[in-house]
Amino acid sequence: MAFPSSKHYNYLPVSVLEETESSPRPRSDLEAPPKYSHVEEVDELDYAATRPAKRPESWKKAAALILIVGAVLYLAVSGFRNAFERIGSMRCSGHKLPNSFTLPSGDQIPSVALGVWLAEKGKVGEAVKTALKNGYRHIDGAWAYGNEAEVGEALRESGIPRKEVWITSKLWNAFHAPGDIEPVLDESLSKLGTDYVDLYLIHWPVAFKKDTDNEVDWNLTDNPYPTWQKLEELVEKGKIRNIGISNFNIRRIQNLTSNPLKVRPAVNQVELSYWNPQPELVKWSKENGLLLEAYSPLGSAERVKETLEVPEVKKIAKILGITPAQVYISWHVQRGTVVLPKSVTPSRIEENFRITRLPQPLFDELEKAATSHKPERSVDPSERWGVDIWN
């Protein structure tokens, strides 16, 4: 990453100190012979006695002056260097953002994924191939997205070995009954063209009765433990490597984890954005060892344009020489969350993958701006489903 120019940061160069003829220095006797009063009364022997002796301290003064000048130059150069390094750090920090996070299983989950929610049919496959070509190794999907077959085909055509790509899928609400989970998982595995998924999430903390029009199964909604036990069994079978949850608040997480779990949730995928930063959930999750994943990191599709125009973010982007979208995605990873930007546009897919650690003052500025307004949720099916999901 290039260092910033002095013009960009409006700092002035340090002047170079130069020696001048006016600089004080001791003069020799030949240059300034001593003057005596009553010279005519002094004989040759007396002359030697009355002649001022050479000052033995003159060399000390000269040495002291040299040391002072050297110290001034050193401080000036050091100050300039430190200032330059501080300014340079505004462009690129010495510590990179993590490429992955470690789960309880020991698996490394990539920190930036391509999300394929709402990706158009016929375009999602190309988006996946573009992402993989540009370095992505994490594809976040779900049975409910209806595009797992196209994602699977793109994965095979990419030529990248299966073990090098992290694949996430999700259990839809209508399949929470223990007997329904493995069949729908097998359907996802078949479409994706793999015999296991790296991560499988309970998509929502709401269970529907099978073959109904979103009729809530209150037993499994209030008590997801039977669903979780079946997922643990599928981990033991090797069809799933890690299990987690999605859209769970703290109360619902504690409701699940109060049971004697064999496998604790590895991930909680939730909406996190400038408009809905959820600082309490972020803090609680860190304290309890639960990794968060951020969906809709730029806000809803209808609000992305507004998101990219937030003044604080535009200012940070200008200082760092990156785009507003990259500021947000970097901010999410720096908060300690996996981030799931979605796009089918090649240039944006490439842009979203390039993250940069924000200097702490700029990170704090964005965090303060995001948490200073009333939170606004983009995705909330509570009313439609008749369930108060967030309480």
Find the DSSP H helices in 146-208.
Answer: 148-158, 178-192
Task: Please report which helix (H) or strand (E) contains residue 125, including its range.
Answer: helix 124-133
Contact 363, 355 (CB under 8 A): no
3-state secondary structure at position 61? helix
Token code pair at residue 80: 């300039």
DSSP label at residue 323: -
Active site residue 328: no
Strand partners, 100: 110
Place of tokens 């859209």: 247
**Distance in angstroms (rounded) separating the CA atoms of residues 142 and 119:** 12
Contact 340, 113 (CB under 8 A): yes
3-state secondary structure at position 166? strand
Q: Work out the widest C-alpha separation in the chain, in whole angstroms.
A: 132
Token code pair at residue 128: 């996946």
Token code pair at residue 62: 């000269």
9, 47, 74, 145: the active-site residue? 145
DSSP string for 218-279: HHHHH--HHHHHHHHHHHHHTSBS-EEEES--HHHHHHHHTS--SS---EEEEE-SSS---H
Strand partners, 340: 295
Place of tokens 């999907």: 141
Active site residues: 145
